């Protein structure tokens, strides 16, 4: 089982009790205007561009096998619809102006990283927190990871917006020791304006 993770943050102390490892999933159905991690919204791995580091050498333009990168008005432009996430441009960029956001990992790989800090969890009553993005977007991978982490006896938390099919939510929620439910806005109209999606299923899951 594989999923797409954009960060695994060790020694996290703000995402639940004790010292924790926070696993950030890629992908979120919400498009919050105040989003702190906009790079987490798309599910697929992405190539991000930092103009301040760019040498304007056009190595990436010539490297991309799909022709998805162009230089326009002194800036690199990436056609994300054409890009197939091969990351050849990231490897070739001499100025490190291109970076990969999101990496495919197996359940076993994530568990191994989390277990590296087992001593800290035990001493501080900490554990592992799933975050994002929205972890429930990658539902099957999330569930496989949850079961694997629970087998290790770890305290498990999730930071969720609750935007997932109701039956799936009812199956997943009881598996966590702590549910950090982030309701963006109770009013349906204001929620749609701020996040560009309705909150019907979110409210249903929250009430449940």
Could you report the per-residue pLDDT of 5-19, keeping only the tens digit for each?
Answer: 999 999 999 999 999
**101 vs 208, more confident:** 208
Select 46-101's CATH number: 3.40.50.300, 3.90.1010.10, 3.30.70.20, 3.20.20.210. Answer: 3.30.70.20
pLDDT given for residue 3 in this prediction: 96
Whether 136 has a pLDDT exceeding 90, the answer reads yes
Q: Tell which residue, 97, 96, 69, 70, has the closest CA to residue 85.
A: 69
CATH homologous superfamily for the domain 2-40+103-207: Aldolase class I (3.20.20.70)
Angle at the Cα of 5 from the Cα atoms of 171 and 64, rounded to 5 degrees: 140
**Would you say 55 and 95 are in contact if contact means Cβ atoms under 8 Å apart?**
yes
pTM equals 0.84
The label of the residue with tokens 């909150």 reads: 199
**80: its two tokens:** 């994300």
CATH 3.20.20.70 residue ranges for the chain? 2-40+103-207
**Would you say 76 and 47 are in contact if contact means Cβ atoms under 8 Å apart?**
no
CA separation for the pair 45, 88 (Å, rounded): 13
CATH 3.30.70.20 residue ranges for the chain? 46-101
**Would you say 194 and 33 are in contact if contact means Cβ atoms under 8 Å apart?**
yes
Whether 101 has a pLDDT exceeding 90, the answer reads no
Number of H helices and E strands in the chain, helices first, is: 8, 10
Whether 38 has a pLDDT exceeding 90, the answer reads no
Q: Tell which residue, 102, 109, 44, 98, has the closest CA to residue 76.
A: 98
- Residue 84 confidence class, pLDDT cut points 50, 70, 90: confident
pLDDT given for residue 30 in this prediction: 94
Give phi and psi for 25, each to the nearest 5: -85, 145
% of the chain surpassing 70 pLDDT: 100
Whether 150 has a pLDDT exceeding 90, the answer reads yes
pLDDT given for residue 74 in this prediction: 85
CA 123 from centre of chain: 28
């Amino acid at each position: 089982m594989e999923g797409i993770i954009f960060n695994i943050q060790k020694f996290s102390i703000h995402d639940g009790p004790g010292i924790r490892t926070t696993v950030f999933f890629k992908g979120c159905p919400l498009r919050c205007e105040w989003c702190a991690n906009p790079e987490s919204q798309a599910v697929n791995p992405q190539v991000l561009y930092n103009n301040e580091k760019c040498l304007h050498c056009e190595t990436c333009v010539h490297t991309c096998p799909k022709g998805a990168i162009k230089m326009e008005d002194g800036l690199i432009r990436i056609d994300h619809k054409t890009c197939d996430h091969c990351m050849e441009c990231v490897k070739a960029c001499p100025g490190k102006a291109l970076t990969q956001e999101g990496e495919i990992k197996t359940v076993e790989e994530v568990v191994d990283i989390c277990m590296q800090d087992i001593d800290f969890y035990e001493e501080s009553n900490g554990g592992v927190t799933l975050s994002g993005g929205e972890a429930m977007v990658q539902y099957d991978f999330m569930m496989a990871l949850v079961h694997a982490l629970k087998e290790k006896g770890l305290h498990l938390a999730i930071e969720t917006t609750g935007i997932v099919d109701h039956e799936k939510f009812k199956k997943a929620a009881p598996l966590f020791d702590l549910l950090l439910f982030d309701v963006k806005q109770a009013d349906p109209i204001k929620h749609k304006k701020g996040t560009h999606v309705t909150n019907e299923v979110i409210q249903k899951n929250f009430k449940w």
